[in-house]
Structure 1
Amino acid sequence: MSSIFRRIMSFRKPKKILTRKDSITGRNHTFEVPYLSRLDGNQLQTGQSLIVRGYITGSDGFIVNLTSGPNVELDNDGNGTLDDRLLAIRVDIPKGRVYLNACIDNQWGKEAFIKQSYKDGDEFDIRIRCFDQHFEIYVEHKLIATFKHYVAMSNISHIYVQGDIRLYAVSWEGKLYTIPYSADIPGNFYVGRKLFVSAIADKKPKDFTIEFFANGEDIALQFSPSFVQKKTTRKSLLSGTWSSPETGHEGKIKFPFKAKRSFDVLVYASDEKFLIFVNDVLYCTYNHRLPADKIDKLIIQGDIQLIGVHIK
């Protein structure tokens, strides 16, 4: 099998930040591995992303596989036939490496790796974005490699995860979205609802905005990170007049967004204010200027690629 990689990039582990573990972020519940799941719906589509998040419980490592079927382990006697592993991401904790490979018709390709250190107790975030000719692989929100397909992506039917970990979430997100993105909010954005936005910042981004509209022209919240100014403003537009912008933030990180990095924004409507999380860390809050249940439309625009948008 010829070389798997179009590109491998160096990687340094970012400073560890503790995520919030409650019912808002969903990190208060975990589940065990081995984890085997069949893909829901139709075949994988260009622009879809697999997001695997969890924390490490041992010192050996773990592996994330995209397979062509449910036969992922040999029997107790070492017998059986394994389905193809169209992509295998293997984290080796003792060696401080993440290995990438594929196995087609029982033939492994040439394994390659990037340096990455994890230890027992660390959280991890691994993402695989699908394109017609290759995968893009992100580790801790940074693009580390592109991985060329050796058989059609349509052959992938299962996800298999195993190793010294517990999982917070395994999910498929989105498609190729058009920016600006606009959508009505069925039932409105009442107290208790959550907006999830997953995206990747452009190579040379200036800014992006997430806006919640109400009553036609009013904007209950405009969340606007500026990559140029390295700050995020929040404000409202009521009866044609903008409120004074707010730029304060929680914690030590003033600006958590970086060019070419993936990120998640979660906006939660509490009784009195919005709670805004970035990568499951509380980033800022914003008091309601309008009743949350009046919010009926969402617009996202700016220098980003959307991976996923959904409301619960």
Structure 2
Amino acid sequence: MAAIIRKIFGLHRKKVTKKDSITGRNNSFPVPYLSKLEGNQLQPGQSVIIRGLIITRNEFVINLTNGPRVELDEETTTLDDRLLCFRADLKGKKIHLNACIEGEWGKEGKVKQKWLAGEEFDIRIRCHEEEFEVFVEHKLVAKFSYYLPLHKITHIYINGSIELYSVSWEGKYYTVPYAADIPGNFYPGRKLYVSAFAKKKAKQFFVDFHNGPDIAFRIHARFPDKKIICNTRAEQNWGTEEKLEVEAFPFKRKKNFDLLVYGEENKFVIYIDDCLCGSFAHRINPRGIDKLTIEGDLVLQGVHLK
């Protein structure tokens, strides 16, 4: 279905990432989408990440609510509170942000945003102590203060003229430099996901996979040079640098990004924002990788291993 839509609407106008089982974008979620937040209450630092495809230029909504009553019908005459209502008016080229508590709407905020039918979208809502941060296409576009405490959110509801690729809650507050052990080591088949925000004056950042005292793999993003360099360090000696040959430097200051590193038998495979960016052949046995460190000019929003 998605492939037909892309062909009809001419997606040569905007680069579209390829669905891939490694990146986890090989399935779609039904719309309308309603999900209860299971487990612990939401914590400051967490983000909901919503990705999908615009089908028609009508509208779609993302609501964070305190209950499952999200649409009026014969049995439902009152809706649960919408602590955040994100409404994309595709024809009007605007995003409307508001909250509705006990039937009363608050003060609406508006953000200009143009999407065409057939384009993909990436929306992130990050929770803080007193406000939401709203990211659209990896750019911070708005901040929205809470009307009710964060812990009141119990459900997320999405509806409209879209196809959903993924909906996920992840992240917390991280310190940088960041360091963590890798339980069971980074054997082939494992994945590392990193979500982060590049600072306004970002110059560089590193992601290092440690094998004891050695660094089995380093990803080094250099903003002034617009280069991504890969390397290893064995017995305190750095090897020969390898540059990832990408069409354009994928990291931008004041924008967030997703980095995925997938371990294969003979190499690491690197994806950035779901796009394949290159690979790096193993020089040191990856099965000995037992620690991860991240440092540089970024704000970490999510780190997890699979």
Distance 2:225 2:38 in 1: 42
Number of the residue aligned with 2:197: 200
Spell out structure 1 runs of 4+ moving beyond 4 A: none
2:277 aligned with 1:283, yes or no? yes
Q: 1:147-296 maps to which residues of 2 (within 5 A)?
A: 147-214=144-211, 216-250=212-246, 252-253=247-248, 255-296=249-290
- Identical columns (%): 53
Superposition map of 1:84-95 within 5 A: 84-95=81-92
The structure 1 residue matched to 2:22, chosen from 11, 21, 24, is 24
- In the TM superposition, residue 239 of structure 1 has moved relative to its aligned partner by 2.1
SS at match of 2:232: strand
Work out the CA distance in 1 between the residues paired with 2:105 and 2:121.
26
Partner of 2:3: none
Q: Distance in 2 between matches of 1:31 and 1:69?
A: 20
In 2: Cα distance, 1:117 partner to 1:23 partner: 29
Matched, 1:45 2:43: yes
Report if aligned partners of 1:256, 1:278 keep a CA contact under 8 Å in 2. yes
Equivalent residues of 2:230, 2:244 under 8 A apart: no
Distance in 2, Cα, partners of 1:271 & 1:76? 57
Q: Please report how far the alpha carbon of residue 45 of structure 1 lies from its aligned counterpart in structure 2 after TM superposition.
A: 1.1
Cα offsets for 1:170-216 (capped at 9, x unmatched): 111111011111111111111111100001111211211100011x1
Give the TM-score taking structure 1 as reference length.
0.91
TM-score, L = length of structure 2:
0.92
Give how far 1:115 is off: 1.5
CA distance in 1, matches of 2:301, 2:15: 23
Structure 1, gaps ≥5 residues long: 1-14
Q: Hey, what's the Cα distance between the residues in 1 that align with 2:23 and 2:274?
A: 6
Supply the AA of the counterpart residue of 2:303.
V
Q: How far did 1:76 drift?
A: 4.0
Instruction: Name the aligned partner's letter for residue 201 of structure 1.
Output: A
- Unaligned ranges ≥5, structure 2: 1-12
Write out per-residue CA displacement over residues 234-287 of structure 1, whole angstroms, 9 at most, x where no aligned residue: 10001221111111323x21x111111110000011222111111001122111
Q: Which residue of 2 aligns with 1:35?
A: 33
The answer to whether the Cα contact below 8 Å between 1:50 and 1:127 also exists between their aligned partners in 2 is: yes
Contact 1:32-1:165 at 8 Å conserved across structures? no
User: CA contact under 8 A between 1:202 and 1:305: conserved in structure 2?
Assistant: yes
What SS is found at the alignment partner of 2:257? Answer: strand
Match of 2:123 in 1: 126
User: Is the CA contact 2:250–2:272 (under 8 Å) kept in the aligned structure 1?
Assistant: yes
Q: CA RMSD in A?
A: 1.4
Deviations 1:11-66 (A, max 9, x none): xxxx8322131111111211111111111222211111111111122231211110
Q: In 2, distance between residues paired with 1:264 and 1:248? A: 16
Q: Which of 135, 138, 156 is the equivalent residue of 1:138?
A: 135
The one-letter amino acid paired with 1:138 is: F
1:87 is displaced (CA, Å) by 0.5
Between stretches 42-51 and 132-141, larger displacement belongs to 42-51
Cα separation, 1, equivalents of 2:254 and 2:144: 17
Q: Determine helix, strand or coil for the equivalent of 1:293.
A: helix
CA offsets 1:59-82 (integer angstroms, 9 cap, x no match): 3121111001111111147x5110
Structure 1 residues 101-148: Cα deviation after superposition (integer angstroms, max 9, x where no partner): 111110112323211111222111000111111110000000001101
The one-letter code of the counterpart of 2:238 is W
Which of 90, 103, 106 does residue 103 from structure 2 map onto? Answer: 106
1:54 aligns with 2:52: yes
